[in-house]
Structure 1
């Protein structure tokens, strides 16, 4: 049997004939067809390709259906007109044309291997002169030449004419107004080039968020965080033929403030997909949104002292930036909770009583009127305003709400009346501060000869019973009523400071003193000259003592008298505690701990010593010759002293403090969180002379001793060997002399060996 075998890409055809060769022509034709259909294939992207001057570009070349080694070699050439030049090769560094060698050596032009059969021609900054037909070719490694060994693509590099010029928007807009974002774009027309424009915003430290993208296919893409905003009609895109693109955001909200950016991209359509060939981004500007709450102010005007039967008139004055664009909802309140009357933003009045009326008398002015007031109408009046903003599709949202400071309305009867006004003289803002309340009595239908008394009332909570703290009689005798703090009796005082004025003071207020304080002033007379008779009395408004209890704050500072010492010296490291929020150091104690690490920037610290809040010092076991001690130099200063420092004392030190605070009421101790200081570094210098002087002294003494011993031994040996023998025994003498000389040589050898050993030691 005879046969012909053809192998191509793993396929084997075996032709056999026994008696005739009639099938051979058919098989040859089949082999040729299969070879052409599965031969080597070199491919490039379909052209023409358009790129922009100054931008990076890459051309990917891929070979498939080949034989031979897996890693293939590639060559790139460029044809401009009738001239073809060599660009770059994967295996021949001398391949580039002379005109391109400088760009190849600087990697402006390079070839990057993606895998064994794929490479990319890369140009960092394309030039217009790079336009032409680029050819990618591969070397043949096939047993049979078939398929294509090169591919061409037409590359066109156009000038960079894209220009993006934004218009700076208004730096600040009021809430509810418009934000106009203009971006002017110019470019030379090139067929096959498409544009896209993206508006984005960067808020504080967050990532940039896309608002809207137009293009490249004339479609709109809305950012995921602005889909509802776009659906509500608050984003509008405007374009014209001059290259002006504008995005308008209506109904600005505080979340809209940030830095706005316009990004323009150029695209080409290649192989059914969009390919970005250039991108330019410009900052449009930073926009701040002025919130309505920032500018909204509400205050109550007019007189606040009336007689029974009068008409009460109070005016609520509202002011804000862009007030005309706001819908105002006004509510009058009595004692913060009782609603007297209400005016909606549409001007509808909610009737709660025929006694009350509310009218809008001007822009931002709303008047409350109460007819024929009574004593029950006395109290704290305030005006609550809600500001609404209408969005572009007609929906309203509440932008701000503010309530005026309450004003005390005092109503006096037509008979003898005492009106009392309580005011803060000193407001208690923290535990330990002083509270002062001024009580001023307004007398009507009373002679100035009447005597006044005052009682200080307190209500320790809303709805809690009223208690009497102290009183001052018409004879100006002070009496402590329900004040049972025997340890604080000297901290309370009540004095008369004027004809109708009293001053109440609590020194070093505590948490238990929080509540509502008022004055009750009574007028007295002595008809018979002996006994006092009360004419009338009046109670003031309430003054609140309210503060948040805050624990003292502590900080820890570590310092050293030196940062570098020699061995055996002493070093001191201070640990100072700073306290704010309390001045009574007798009620604060500290636990102090000192730590050391031999390595810098290490977290491996060991405890050196500690002192507890009772002053008991504990030290860790040390293996070094140095020692440490702790010393307290003040209520808040602790010193660690290291005596006889050694190399092992070098490193970083820090201290920790655990404050303990004693309650002034229960005398119980409360543990506060531990605070930690920064690290302080101590360097122990190396004493060169101290480490070398003893070895040098020992070596010098040893050398002198060995030398002196060698000289003495030599003299002794010379004297022994130079004795004269009798002449009659010459032969014997000669023999002994030879033996002596031999012994001398052995002695010298031993001496040399002994000296060498001494030197070695």
Structure 2
């Protein structure tokens, strides 16, 4: 019993020690600026009783000889002393509760006479009086020396998209304490919300479209310059500059102790699509002979003088089926010209800046593929794209007629392992030099559809390649004699036998080489400068069927296999008959014994 009493005694003492009340405030001294807010957080822990505790704040002014002065209380409206009564009534001095055990003393506009030691006291709700019921922190009030100014006010005069915007703001602080100055530029939203420019547009800042630079100037002030390389339509709005004074408290946290904002003015941005026109020259239609030069000019009208970078001029051609890029060049001093595939990486054309806002496209020798509708586009990425009307370029081409037929030379039946030989006979009728480019194709042999009572079709009556089946390219012999082989399974060769005869050979043919073969011929002409071009005239030949029969040695295996099978069958019959007769005779002899 005595032991149990001892345990209960020490248990009570342990819990009394564990539930020791503690009141905590920030570590001081805290330096704050006159005229700006101060917030002091007070937290109580280890208490008994209600979860919602009351708090009372006292001030010991430096000039009052340590005399206590009531500031504000959570439970007694008449608690404030006379110097604080009016300020408490109008809300300038108040207590804001964050939780039942946590409040903040807020002074909206700090005065020099507010300097001193602040005490946070918590009336006891405990059964025994143990622990710390109050805490204090010293607040030093320093004068307001934060200065901010701008060098140029936005007058509201519109800027075009893509123009550069520069905003300059100067700021300074004169303090005996170690404080720091920060400056941000911002824009007010549609509902009056303020937003920092760089924080809301990090991608543009990362890409260098928005920059912020700090410069040291005479008079002890620092100048902050924000540049937007190219304003956009949504950059319009009311701009401001904000300077803040920061200090590091004893707990190593940074606190903003002063802030001043300055309106710079309103910005209006005009869309470039509404003020820029792109005009081609000549207009309408241009008729040229093949091999003649083509010169087109693109004039960008209404381009604002403020836009001096990032302009791109692009020429595209639509040949009736699709639009493709011809040339694209930049207006920057180091602008790079990109070439469309049709110009063979610039070997046939050029893009030049003739004068301010005028750009010329030159094709040295036009070809049939160059005909179509040309359009010039003025680009200022990512702001806008303005396109001109189309200029139709037509070429007077000479008449070209092409025919192609495929021939399978007569000879022995083709067997696996033989060489397949096919001839493509091409005829090109035109004026001037001409060449043919031949491509060989193969389709799988279609399965014939037979009606009831109909005899199987012969080789000669097999249909042409089915339209829905995709052909397999075998080889191509270009107009300049260069061969390209596509087949990987067999050895293939192509050559030109005579002026209009082209040969395909598939060596050591296998069953995979069976199929329907055809050739396609494209006519190429030569312009006055000696350059070869594709006339666009083509012909497709008929299709011939290539079927491979079994080899003689394969046929010899058939009687051999049949003979072996027959011999085995006869032997099995003989053995079975002899065995059966012997067993019957033996069965008859057994009863006689």
User: What TM-score results when the alignment is normalised by the length of structure 1?
Assistant: 0.39
Q: Which has the larger radius of gyration?
A: 1
Higher relative contact order (CA 8 A, sep 6+): 2
